[in-house]
Amino acid sequence: MNVSFFYIFFIIVSIVCSFFSSNWLLLWLWLELSSLCLIPIISKVSNLRSIESTIKYYIFQALGSVILLFGILIRCFFLNEFMIFGNYNIFVSFFIVLGLSIKIGIFPLHFWFIDVVSGLKFYEGAFVVIISKVIPLYLLMVVGSFSNSSIYWVEGMISVVVGSFFGLSQIQLRKLIGLSSVAHLGWLIILFPYLSLWISGFLFLVYVVMSFPLFVIGSLYSSEHFFKVKNVWNNFSFSFIFCISILSLAGFPPLVGFFYKWIMLYFLVINDGYVTVAILIILSLISLYFYLNLFFTLVSLSWPNLKFLLSSSYYYGNLKEKVFFVFFVFVNLLIFFLMLYVGPLNVEFIFPYN
């Protein structure tokens, strides 16, 4: 436990330092420190699947790092500087965005990310899906403000397509979380050229709030497949949180996930991206279909116990379950009202420089 805390501490330090660095070489070093510190964490469980996932993680992180460093050096060759804020031609942008895309597990090398997440335990998977993406996404946000948006559009749109269609026949919980991450990050990548850093960071935080409870519940119940999580229904608090998280990831109104997508669609309309909006709505409906299909299947499995759950389970649950339940509801309500504030109701906050 002390060893894990040591590595987590250095990950936090690298993330914080990256926010205060403006030199590409320093940012690259902080990014690599974060990636290397994750390897001992995700390799704690010494079974064959975890070892295979750790090796894949290391190989593709190294590949992304090499491509990213190549793009940084090319930019230095053209502009004779290592500062992150400045101009990016399409050639430099291609290599930098490609390297960062590989590291966060979206198109074109998204397959390694799905395999790694499905091969890890939920605790280790949360680090790969959430923590490992903070610095790369921050760099993509910054570069997106100064580079060609067409690269981001292609990366993001194909990622949304992959996450939507590959999830149709998926029943493994961890693999579905990975595909959901690919699709939701695809939405963000498309919008990065149009968003401020604060709004981009806020939307990523919203995704974390939607997905993190699935890791907690999956870890507690050791559920590999969706139809094995029916044991969750013996606990009202966790069953409620599980349902809300699934429906929120699906973008079901009026939950947080719906406003998450609503705000991004609003940005695209403001920037005349009507074709993009139409494509994303169709893909979102596909995602909504398989999320609702899984949701109703799980509800039908638990229906005989529903009366008992509503009458007694919550009131006789332990204190930790009640605290987690109250905290989940509070955070979702807070995010809900914040999204109303930063959404179409407050255009000045969205476009502070206009």
The pLDDT tens digits for 185-209 are 999 999 898 888 888 888 898 898 8
Task: Check if the beta carbon of residue 45 is closer than 8 Å to that of residue 121.
Answer: yes
CB 175 within 8 A of CB 163: no
Answer for the pair 94, 65: CB distance below 8 angstroms, yes or no: no
Which of 171, 172, 174, 205 lies closest to 188, judged by CA? 205
18 contacts 31 by C-beta, under 8 angstroms: yes
pLDDT per position as a tens digit, 55-74: 999 999 999 999 999 999 99
Percent of the chain scoring above 70 in pLDDT: 84
Residue 308 has pLDDT above 60, yes or no: no
Domain ranges of the chain: 2-350
Task: Please give the backbone phi and psi of residue 83, each rounded to the nearest 5 degrees, phi first.
Answer: -75, 140
Spatial neighbors of 106 by CB under 8 A, at least 6 apart, are 113, 155, 156, 159, 182, 185, 186, 189
Taking 90 as the threshold, does the pLDDT of residue 49 lie above it? Answer: no
Per-residue pLDDT, 301? 64
Which segments of the chain are extended strands (E)?
none
Check if the beta carbon of residue 65 is closer than 8 Å to that of residue 103. Answer: yes
Query: Can you tell me the distance from the alpha carbon of 98 to that of 15, in angstroms, rounded to the nearest whole number?
Result: 21
At 103 the pLDDT is: 93
| CA 158/CA 154 separation, integer angstroms | 6
**Percentage helix, strand, coil for the chain under 3-state DSSP, each rounded to 5:** 80, 0, 20
Percent of the chain with pLDDT over 90: 26
Cα–Cα separations (whole angstroms), residue 219 to 133, 203, 212, 222, 223: 21, 25, 11, 5, 7
Name the average pLDDT for the chain: 81
Mean pLDDT calculated for residue range 157-174: 84
- Locate tokens 């979102």: which residue? 284
The answer to whether the beta carbons of residues 146 and 107 sit under 8 Å apart is: no
Instruction: Give CA angle at 183 (182, 187), nearest 5°.
Output: 115
- Exposure string (b/e) for 136-175, b if CB count within 10 Å is 16 or more? bbbbbbbbbbebebebbbebbbbbbbbbbebbeebebbbb
Which of the pair, 2 or 21, is modelled with greater confidence? 21
14, HSE (Cβ side, Cα atoms, 13 Å): 25
* C-beta neighbour count of 314 within 10 angstroms: 16
| Pair of tokens at residue 102 | 């590989």
> In sequence order, which residues have a C-beta less than 8 Å from that of residue 102 and are 6 or more positions away?
60, 63, 64, 67, 108, 109
How many C-beta neighbours within 10 Å does residue 219 have? 15
Q: pLDDT value at position 139?
A: 94
